[in-house]
Amino acid sequence: MDERLVTAAIVVIGVPAVLVGYILTSERLLGLVDERRRSQIRPWLWITPALLFLIVFLVYPTINTIVLSLQDRAGQAFVGLANYQYFFSNSGTLESLGNSVLWVVFMTGGVVGLGLLVAILLDRVRYESVAKSVIFVPLAISFVAAAIIWSFMYQFRAPGATQTGTLNAAVGLLGLEPVAWIQTAPFNNLALIVIGIWMWTGFAMVILSAGLKGISIEVLEAARVDGATEWQVFRNIILPLLLPTIFVVATTIVITALKSFDIVYTTTNGNFGTDVIARKMYEEMFTNGHFGRASAVAIVLLVTIIPFMALNIRRFREQEALR
């Protein structure tokens, strides 16, 4: 039998068995404690496995990454903030930082804007579910596959030769010269961001559409009866009521945009001025073998994401408080 099957069987049967065993044992142990204390201790016992996983797979690696980011290439000596100094002074990393900002701004704007537009427009048609499914499908494609599909679309052949790329074939039909979409800075960044937008618009649409359905029809009817135009209904009623949902979607996309790696890696590998910080991290780690710098990039990425997470959590709490 294949060794991997044995391993898989051990995992599939073993892991639940261990967990059930843990709960049974802990319940038995709880039986020894008096009734009142039991309900105080039980939640902690139940949460312990999850906490352990969190510590081993999240807290420990984070702390270790922080430590590595203060060390040299091989993690043998402390070098203070040298890796961060490199990050903020090297022209290559600064360029990737700038591009990541472009990703955050344009991808978030594009995904949320288009997602909202599509959600609102499709809310008014009969074939809504079919159209939504079609728009949602790209999210199911892996980033690498999507990037490859789009690099075929963006393909560039010498002017005069048969254009095999979809976009340049179309441009050719209009009698124009082919465009090197992903090779020409600075617009190639946008060409790559479009791939991200294409993938994630479906996600924003689904969430926003659900939010839209949650707005009570009476409120909208009342506004319309009072003579509000459709734009006024959207601007003054739908948008404010949808804002918390938009915020959640935007946070998710901001984080996705900051972490975007696959598209750039697959289409340009950071050439042509399209590098982003996540790819820089990969390069420092796997190409350059520089654990210090790679960890420093990871920490910069983490620190950039934290405010968005914090804002989101605060908003969530505010909403909870309103209920």
Partner 1 sequence: MQRVFTNWRRVTALAAVAVLAAAACGGGASPTTGNKVSVIGTWGGAEQESFLAMVKPWETRTGNTVQYTGTRDINAVLTTGVASGILPDLAGLPGPGQMVEWGKSGALKPLDDVLDMATYRADTSSAFVDLGTVDGKVVGVFIKSALKGLIWYNPNYFAGPAPTTWDGVMGTSTGGAEALWCVGVESGAASGWPGTDWIEDFVLRQSGPDVYDAWVAGTLPWSSPEIKSAFDAFGDVLDKSYGGSDTVVATNFGDGGNPLFTDPPGCLFHHQASFITDFFKNQGGAAEGDFDFFAMPDINPAYAGAFTGAGDLFGMFNDRPAARDLLKYLVTVEAQQIWVDRGGALSGNTKVTTYPDEVSKRSAEALGSAKVFRFDGGDLMPTQLQSAFFAAIVEFAQDQGKLDTILTELDAASTAARGG
Residues making contact with partner 1 (CB under 8 A): 3-4, 6-7, 10, 56, 60, 64, 68, 73-76, 155-161, 180, 182-184, 265-266, 268-272, 283, 286-291
d(CA 143, CA 263): 6
Contact status, residue 180 vs residue 268, Cβ threshold 8 Å: no
The CB-of-83 to partner 1 minimum distance in angstroms stands at 12
The CB-of-286 to partner 1 minimum distance in angstroms stands at 4
The CB-of-297 to partner 1 minimum distance in angstroms stands at 15
The CB-of-79 to partner 1 minimum distance in angstroms stands at 13
d(CA 151, CA 145): 10
The CB-of-47 to partner 1 minimum distance in angstroms stands at 22
Shorter beta-carbon distance to partner 1: residue 3 or 320: 3
How far the first Cα of the chain sits from its last, in Å, is 57
Contact status, residue 188 vs residue 272, Cβ threshold 8 Å: yes
Shorter beta-carbon distance to partner 1: residue 94 or 215: 94
Shorter beta-carbon distance to partner 1: residue 115 or 292: 292
Shorter beta-carbon distance to partner 1: residue 90 or 304: 90
The CB-of-27 to partner 1 minimum distance in angstroms stands at 27
Burial group, residue 279, by CB count within 10 angstroms (0-12, 13-18, 19+): buried
The CB-of-183 to partner 1 minimum distance in angstroms stands at 5
Burial group, residue 311, by CB count within 10 angstroms (0-12, 13-18, 19+): middle
CA quadruple 295, 301, 305, 306: dihedral sign: positive
The CB-of-99 to partner 1 minimum distance in angstroms stands at 15
Residue with tokens 């983490």: 302
Shorter beta-carbon distance to partner 1: residue 10 or 33: 10
Contact status, residue 231 vs residue 183, Cβ threshold 8 Å: no
Q: Helices 108-122 and 187-213, interaxial angle, to 10°? A: 40
Radius of gyration of the chain (CA): 26
The CB-of-219 to partner 1 minimum distance in angstroms stands at 53
Shorter beta-carbon distance to partner 1: residue 108 or 163: 163
Q: Where are the alpha helices (DSSP H) in 2-142?
A: 3-30, 35-54, 60-69, 82-87, 91-102, 108-122, 128-136
Measuring CA to CA, which residue among 250, 297, 242, 234 is closest to residue 93?
297
Nearest 10 degrees: CA dihedral of 250, 256, 258, 260? -150
Shorter beta-carbon distance to partner 1: residue 76 or 319: 76
Shorter beta-carbon distance to partner 1: residue 201 or 274: 274
Burial group, residue 149, by CB count within 10 angstroms (0-12, 13-18, 19+): middle
Shorter beta-carbon distance to partner 1: residue 168 or 245: 168
